[in-house]
Structure 1
Amino acid sequence: MSIGMLVTLLRDGVFQILLMAAPVLGSALIVGLIVAVFQATTSIQEQTLTFVPKLVTILIVLALLGGWMFTSMRQYTINIFSAIGRITR
C-alpha cells in the first residue's frame, strides 16, 4: 500500500463525510439563523423555540435526502470493498 493510495482513501472518506453532513447542517444553520433573528426582533427568549424548528427541519431534510444519502454511502462502501483487493497486493 502506497502513501498515495492511503491519502486518496482518507481524502475520499473526509469528502464523503462532508457530503453527507452538509445538507443537514446547512438547513439547521439557516433555520437557526432565521429563528435567532425572529427572537431578536420580538425579544422572545424561549429555549424550545430554537430547538424544535431545527429538529423538524433536520427530520424533513433526512426524509427528503435519505435515499440519496443511502445511495451515496452504498456506492462509497462498494468502492472501499473493491479497493481492498488492490490495497493488499
Structure 2
Amino acid sequence: MGKKLEGNRLFDNSRMMLTDERKREEMERMLSLSLREHVRVTVVWYDSVEELQQSGFITSIHAHSREIKLQWADEWKWIGLDRILEVYPG
C-alpha cells in the first residue's frame, strides 16, 4: 500500500483522501455561507508554530490567491485556505 504526502498530512490510501476531500468541501461550503449570508463561523488554522482559532465573519474570498479574510470586531486576518484545519458554525 503506497503512502501519499499531501499538505502536512500523510494518507495511507485513497479512501482516507476522499474523506479529507469531503471535509474540505464542507469547510469551503461553510466559508461561502458566511460570506453570502453573514453567518458567524469559527476557523481553526495553523501557522508556523501553533494552531490558532478565531470566530468571526468571512468578508472576502480570493480564489486566485486561495485566501479568506476573517473579520471580528475591528480586526481582520487573511488566512490561506491550505492552512485551514476546520471551520464550524459559531
Query: TM-score by structure 1 length?
Result: 0.32
Query: TM-score by structure 2 length?
Result: 0.32
The structure richer in strand per residue is 2
The structure richer in helix per residue is 1
Higher relative contact order (CA closer than 8 Å, sequence separation 6+):
1
Larger Rg: 1
